[in-house]
Amino acid sequence: MGSVRLVALKGRLAASFFNGSLRGFQRNPTLSIRCLSSNMSPPSKAVVYEQQGPPDQVIRVIDLPPVEIRESDVCVKMLAAPINPSDINRIEGVYPVRPPVPAIGGYEGVGEVQSLGSAVRGLSPGDWVIPSPLSSGTWQTYVVKEESAWHKVSTDIPAEYAATVTVNPLTALRMLEDFNKLNSGDAIVQNGATSIVGQCIIQLARIQGIHSINIIRDRVGSEEVKERLKKLGADEVYTESQLEIKNVKSLLGGLPEPALGFNCVGGNSATLVLKFLRQGGTMVTYGGMAKKPVTVSTSSFIFKDLSLRGFWLQKWMSSERAKDSRPMIDYLLDLVRRGELKYEMELVPFEDFHVALDKALGKLGSHPKQVLTF
């Protein structure tokens, strides 16, 4: 990138620090002059992309100048932020909702309040906050947004859990509660059980007295994976090859037929979820890691009356749902505090961002969720 182009990019990104777009700068070209006065943020280091494309090709880490902290703004020093699949999809340009470019990456994280605008009353320096609703621009050392964009969380939990509580654990909680009414003693079935959503579903179901039947892919070390999931509370864990039998329900033993199933894989793995469901059961699809379609037999609709639904957290959190979700987030973080909710993550210093990105892209083998620490 040439020096003139880089300076222009830095200026545009600084001007659009609040929403990841260029529109604020375009509406008010004097913004950079006004920012020279009053309260200012520290300079920030940020992960940016000028265009959509392969993340390892379009991403750059650059320095951004200070921006103005207006009277209702809060300046937050980021502590941790994950690299989620949806973050990668936004950079690639294939996610349904994405910020206009140039943009700062990241959509979730936790930070510590650094400084406040004069009108801010609900937060103090040192408080921990997360973006609520989720918003772009968490892959940077300092973020400035209005007070209403932040939700205060407890500081007595590991930062990596506060940084990741919204996208995955909240998805698990809502899917368990929003489709079929489940009672203690009921059962659910899911594929992708090793994902963070899958791990959370196991633990949240256990807390509610709900049994879980879990499907994992065939892999080296699958027996160790099964044991880890059972320690989290899984009742049964099967590899896909173990389910290549005509009557999978013969494996249930004393467990009830599941009323609800969760699919984040697609293809044959989704078909296995459907085979377990009881009459009138529902399968909820929230991902498609195999990049293969969900295929359903005609008899599943006619004779079993199965329902297929979908869940997308971003849609669920539209409008006023962000405020509704805050007590749920507090509940999930309280479970973390009590040791009742945990999942695998790998912490990576922000300066090693490109290593974390390669791991998140699967270029360096299989790794847990990558969480940047600042």
Annotated catalytic residues are 95
CA dihedral for 205, 211, 215, 220, sign (positive or negative): positive
φ, ψ for residue 39 (rounded to 5)? -80, 130
Say what angle helices 196-207 and 222-232 make with each other, to 10 degrees.
40
Contact in structure between 62 and 10 (CB atoms under 8 Å): yes
Distance CA 360, CA 367 (A): 7
Distance CA 222, CA 216 (A): 8
What is the maximum span of the chain, computed from C-alpha positions, in angstroms?
72
Distance CA 44, CA 53 (A): 24
Distance CA 144, CA 69 (A): 7
Contact in structure between 137 and 106 (CB atoms under 8 Å): yes
3-state helix, strand, coil in the chain (%, to 5): 35, 25, 40
- Residue at token pair 């659009």: 16
Contact in structure between 331 and 172 (CB atoms under 8 Å): no
